[in-house]
Amino acid sequence: MKIKTGSRLLFTGDSITDVGRVRPIGEAPYGLGEGYPKLVSGMLTAFLPELKIHVLNTGISGNTIRDLRARWQTDVLDQNPDWVSMMIGVNDVWRHFDRPFEPNIWVSKEEYIKTYRELIEMTKDKVKGMVLIAPYYIDKNETDPMTAMVRDFASVVKELAKEYQVIFCDVQKEFDEAQKNLHHMGISVDRVHPNGGNSPGHFILAKSFLKSVECWPIE
Q: Is 41 designated active site?
A: no
Query: Does residue 198 touch a second copy according to CB under 8 A?
Result: yes
Q: Is 54 designated active site?
A: no
* 9 DSSP β-pair partners: 55, 83
Q: Please give the Cα distance from 36 to 202 (Å, whole number).
A: 5
Q: Please give the Cα distance from 83 to 94 (Å, whole number).
A: 28
Burial 96-119 (b: 16+ CB within 10 A, else e): beeeeeeeeebbeeeebbebbeeb
Q: Is 170 designated active site?
A: no
- Catalytic entry in 15, 85, 208, 212: 15
Rank residues 89 and 201 by Cβ distance to a second copy and give the closer one. Answer: 201
Residue choice 1, 20, 25, 54 for contact with a second copy (CB under 8 A) = 54
Query: Does residue 20 touch a second copy according to CB under 8 A?
Result: no
Query: Does residue 62 touch a second copy according to CB under 8 A?
Result: no
Residue choice 2, 47, 121, 159 for contact with a second copy (CB under 8 A) = 47
DSSP line for 15-43: HHHHTTPPSS-EETTTSS-SSHHHHHHHH
- Catalytic entry in 14, 92, 193, 212: 193
Residue choice 83, 94, 153, 209 for contact with a second copy (CB under 8 A) = 94
Q: Report, as residue numbers or ranges, the catalytic residues.
A: 15, 190, 193
